[in-house]
Chains A and B, each alone.
Chain A
Amino acid sequence: MSKRRATVNIEVCVACGVCANQCPREAISIYRGCYAEVDTDKCVGCGICEKACPANAIEVRDIEDMEAENGK
């Protein structure tokens, strides 16, 4: 099974901090009151933050997919 991680759409994020409060791994912090930032080393891709985010700003994605996209 491939690894999954939370990703934040910072254009949509309202920096409310719900995700950071809910993350069981404390993998999320709010960068300077602007948007949520995920520490991908700590994140285990559980998706708790995704379901809590009121702005639909988080998506748990396959790391390989993300790398493939970025490598384009």
Chain B
Amino acid sequence: MANKKKNWYDYLWIWSIIYFALGFFNIMFAWLGLIDFVLPLIFALAGGNKWFCNNMCGRGQLFWILGRKAKCSRKKPAPRWISSKWFRYGFMIFFLTMFGTMLFQTYQVFAGASGLKQVVKLFWTFKVPWQWAYSGGTFPEWMVQFGYGFYSLMLTSTLIGLIVMVLYRERTWCTFCPMGTMTQGICQLKAKGDSE
């Protein structure tokens, strides 16, 4: 690795830090996280590959740098069930359900059925006040609500990833990351379709 030529996308781990920093000051930056949602799917759907995960995922790179280079990982093999199919797909379904719930909350604010809640919800449970990240006025409230919801999702999944990074191997998160599961699933379907 050390003597391999570096590409620009080897530095995207910096982006994943900048993302959280920007969202700390202005929640509207949370929207940029959609890039990390859409890009992997485009690679999988159009190219039938996991090039995003394999080369340019800033989050995966960050876990590697913190875990391996900064020695913050025990580097212990994770229990088998974590990378088992039922857990991976189960977690993906759970994650998508939470994503749907978040979209619904955004819709409610859009429809005027509920007010804007300026909190970041961690682990889908703990509400952290985050009012400073938006002072009102510039954007429609539903857009702001989506920002809070999406930022919560990104922060929560990164925290889970950091926990398993410390406990197990550097990129243990990648074994059950919903994006990773989804893209591999799409690639498998595509590969199967071609071979039949």
Taking Cβ atoms with an 8 Å cutoff, the residues of A that contact B are 12, 14-18, 20-22, 24, 30-34, 51-57
CB<8 Å pairs between A and B, sample of 20: A14-B181, A14-B184, A15-B54, A15-B184, A15-B187, A16-B53, A17-B54, A30-B50, A33-B51, A33-B184, A34-B188, A51-B75, A52-B169, A52-B171, A54-B83, A54-B168, A54-B169, A54-B175, A55-B175, A56-B78
Which bracket fits the contact residues of B? 35 or more
Partner of A18, one of B64, B80, B83, B183: B64
Q: Which residues of B contact A22 (CB under 8 A)?
A: 1
Complexed CA–CA distance, A53 and B171 (Å): 8
Partner of B170, one of A20, A33, A52, A56: A52
Q: Which residues of B contact A16 (CB under 8 A)?
A: 50, 53-54, 60, 171, 174-175, 180
**With contacts defined as CB atoms under 8 Å apart, how many contacts are there between chain A and chain B in the complex?**
86
With A32-B48, A56-B80: A15-B191 Cβ-Cβ less than 8 Å: no
Partner of A24, one of B1, B50, B170: B1
Pairwise interchain contact B175-A15, C-beta atoms closer than 8 A: no
* Nearest opposing residue in chain B for A14, CB measure: B175
Pairwise interchain contact B184-A56, C-beta atoms closer than 8 A: no
Q: Which residues of A contact B48 (CB under 8 A)?
A: 32-33
Pairwise interchain contact A54-B174, C-beta atoms closer than 8 A: yes
